Amino acid sequence: MSLILGSHISLNQKSKYLLGVVEETICNGANCFMIFTGPPQNVKRVDTSLFYKEEALELAKQHNIDFSNCVVHAPYVFNLAGLDTDGYIVNILQSEIERTVSLGIKYFVVHPGSFRESKDEGIDNIVKNILEVFRRTSHLDYFFCLETMAGKRNQIGACLEDLQLIFSKCNWDPKLALCLDTCHLHDSGYDLSKLEEFKKKLSNLFGGLERVKVIHLGDSMNSIGARKDRHANYGLGHIGWETILKWAYDDYFSSLPIIVETPYWKKQVKSKRSKETREILVSPYKHEISLLRNKKWEPIPNKDCLPIYDKNLKTTN
């Protein structure tokens, strides 16, 4: 079974945008990726015609990377559960979706947002915003994937029933889909070790599993139901390696794009000009993807790197 594995990769001018993304994907031993089409904290954007798309597609083809399996994540500059009085939210979403489709990518992941006064009001705002986005983008081929959330403060999406209500109020539009984040699900209170039980619940709520289009696969630093959203590296969290592996190789989930979502490692490096050391962050993705492909947990190969995790946890052997 060949998994569709990838990670978030930074899209930037220095690395020639999409071409650099594909190059890093190959280096990681991956066959998909997730990107933001620009900085996630603002709406400054470079035209996608400058993204070296054709060169990236050619390189991707040589390495069996299909852009239709890749993912774009919406920026963090709006609250989908907010009242969109001036069109700010919908305008951003429309633009980002158009950029996503122009790159040949069809999975667009969005956080449901947080309510202010009441959850019901927040859900109604989400529905209004989504329906307007769908009206404006009805001619485009993509999936609007609502991500499951950890339940921090007033977040919507920590409860599957809330997401089902949104789907229902959106008349089960075929564009509407789910992105399951394992860390978020665990932190919101779902026991992921009971996978068949979880899938049955999911299937009952959404009329099958077909609405699930993307998996964000990460462990959690927190005990179940902590509602904190702190990701952990594989084998170093409360979800556990065996459950992570079970999810990756599930009969249905294994056919979906699986985005590795684990924290960067810490590394102490000495300055070339002085004896002082400083801390840098090192990508774990090549190692984590290798663990999933080999179905075997191993410690970090670089002894100079340290994971960011709860020291009271026992590591997987």
**How do strand 219-220 and strand 231-232 relate by DSSP bridges?**
antiparallel
Q: Of the given ranges (25-29, 36-40, 289-293, 299-303), which has the lowest mean pLDDT? A: 299-303
Tokens of 112: 């449901």
How many whole angstroms separate alpha carbon 229 and alpha carbon 184?
Answer: 6
Retrieve residue 308's tokens.
């960011």
Q: What is the CATH number of the domain that holds 220?
A: 3.20.20.150
Residues 140, 103: Cα–Cα separation, whole Å = 12
Segment 33-52, tens digit of pLDDT: 999 999 999 999 999 999 99
> In this structure, is residue 315 part of a structural domain?
no
CA geometry: angle 211, 149, 186, nearest 5 deg: 95
Give residue-wise pLDDT tens across range 59-86.
999 999 999 999 999 999 999 999 999 9
> Residue 84: which domain range?
4-263
Q: Is residue 102 part of a domain?
A: yes
Q: Inform me whether the pLDDT recorded for 312 exceeds 90.
A: no
Torsions phi, psi for 117 (to 5 deg) = -90, -50
What CA–CA distance (Å, rounded) separates 10 from 84?
Answer: 29
276 found inside a domain: no
- Is 311 a residue whose pLDDT tops 70? no
Establish if 231 belongs to a structural domain. yes
Cβ atoms within 10 Å, residue 279: 9
Q: Does residue 317 surpass a pLDDT of 50?
A: no
Domain count, the chain: 1
279 falls within a domain:
no
Q: What angle do CA 169, 155, 153 make, to 5 degrees?
A: 150
pTM: 0.95
Residue ranges of the binding site for Zn(2+): 73, 111, 147, 181, 184, 216, 229, 231, 261
Does residue 315 or residue 161 have the better pLDDT? 161
Residue numbers belonging to the annotated binding site: 73, 111, 147, 181, 184, 216, 229, 231, 261
Three-state SS for 131? helix
Beta strands 231-232 and 107-110 are unpaired
